Amino acid sequence: MKKFIQLIASIFIVISMTACSGKQSTNDTSTKKDEGYMAAEIRKDGQIGVFMILKNDEIPWTYWVGTYDAPKDSKDEYKWTSKNTYTGNGLMASNAEDKEFTYKDGKISFSYTIQGQTVTVNLVRGDWETKNIPSDAFSSSQDTKHTSENKQTTESTQNGFQPLEIRDYGWYLSNGKYLYYYYVKIYNPNKNVAVRYPSFELQARSSDGSLLGIYDQTLSIIYPEQEFVYGSQAFSVDDVPASVEFTMMDVKDRNRVNIKLLDSFEPLQVINTSVRSDKIVGEVYNPNSDTYDTVIVVAICRDASGNLVKVETDFISDVRGQSNAAFSMYAYNTSEYYSVEYYAYQW
């Protein structure tokens, strides 16, 4: 989110003030930046709405909707506490109960905090296209989440969010002890939406249809049109499964993130790998500028016939941008490994 923080801190602001002043608003396009800007509207029903306008996105993103207390007489400076009246689930919406606003020198100011960084936002007079404000932004109804025009959390409400796909999976029983291991390959078919904390469930059943075990797992993030391959030990079973089913869990709106709000990302690379007698070693290269606190490495091991014989994982801490980080994962019977597929992801 570093890029987004910088954007909010640097952009100029535009506001429509027609409800609180007799002056006519002016079309001050010089205050707008190419990347985006903040805009607001004060309504006659006593509400103020503050919105984020992002580049190439016609629908404003709701940041704040709350009460507006107009001054009783003409004042050069006044303050009011806006009570939150927003009932939607916008991704960028503040969940604070109230917010302090100040009017002085023709500007309305308030503080804006994201990831621990606070800036003062100054709203100045100007025109903007208010007709694109989501129709439910100022609604007090609890049914706002059902309004089809609310495009606050994802592209799903207008462009159609596509469910995550399970493209491949495999499983095996380790050492005849019925320790069940698996891997699964998940694909995000959306072009503009990343999915945070995607979850899946697997069920193993015996030949009579009874459950042998059930297991669910939550991952970190899957970027648009990218895959996430994960594997691990699931559970022990007392019989060889006759069937195994993987199912994606529903993605909640709050976990769908427009790619414009994220830093640019390139997939991590696993390099310089080697299978030793008792371990698998290698390095992860991070081509991005960000440092990742934790990275997971997954190794899918197969025999000469292509059968899955092992799934190994390791976690690496503090993977710095544009640098390598080494890993080592314990392994046994490595002579069985004819091929190994490697994957690495931020965790």
Q: How many CB atoms lie within 10 A of CB 325?
A: 19
Q: CA-to-CA distance for 269 and 205, rounded, in angstroms?
A: 36
Structure tokens at 104: 């002085």
Name the percent of the chain lying above pLDDT 70: 81
Higher pLDDT, 289 or 113: 289
pLDDT for the residue numbered 176? 61
pLDDT of residue 128: 83
Structure tokens at 97: 């109960």
Cα distance from N-terminal residue to C-terminal residue, the chain: 16
pLDDT for residue 2 is more than 50: no
Q: Which is more confident, 174 or 101?
A: 101
**Average pLDDT for 27-48:** 69
> What pLDDT, on the 0 to 100 scale, is given for residue 332?
83
pTM: 0.57
What is the reported pLDDT for 141?
A: 39
Structure confidence by residue, pLDDT tens digits, 114-164: 767 788 899 888 888 888 787 778 865 333 333 333 344 434 433 589 999
Task: pLDDT band for 219, please (50, 70, 90 cuts).
Answer: very high
Predicted confidence at residue 13, as pLDDT, reads 40
Domains of the chain in start order, with CATH, are: 2-152 (no CATH), 154-261 (2.60.40.10), 263-347 (2.60.40.10)
Residue 204 makes CB contacts below 8 A (sequence gap 6+) with 171, 180, 211, 212, 213, 214, 234, 235, 237, 241, 243, 244
pLDDT exceeds 70 at position 294: yes
